[in-house]
Amino acid sequence: MELFTMSEALQAVGISPPPGRGEVSVFCPNCDRDQRGRKHLCISMRTGVFNCPRCGVHGGVLGLYGLFRDCDNKTAIRELIAWRNGGGTVQATPE
């Protein structure tokens, strides 16, 4: 049993999950920083994994959350638990 769903991770970082168990493509925070052109990061709701064919980043639910928040799995779990308990979107990391 998974601790968090891909849908929860997407919602926590402010991305609307697709309806059902489909796929969604978004700008990759690793290689699409200018957010122009094609969205390279493909996220599968059915399998709970993501992949970017452009830069090669890939992983599961915690990895996706960590990619957007620039944090490790331990921090991701802590933040997702706090998000789940309080709802809303996790605050962006200061730059």
Tokens of 68: 């957007």
Of 88, 95, 94, the closest CA to residue 13 belongs to 88
Q: Which residues pair with 42 in a beta bridge?
A: 25, 51
pTM of the predicted model as reported, rounded to 2 decimal places: 0.84
Confidence (pLDDT) at 2: 61
Confidence (pLDDT) at 90: 57
In the chain, the amino acid numbered 20 is G
pLDDT at 8 over 70: yes
- DSSP E strand stretches across the chain: 23-26, 41-44, 49-51, 58-59
How does pLDDT run across 19-58, given as a tens digit for each residue? Answer: 877 899 999 999 987 888 889 999 999 999 999 999 999 9
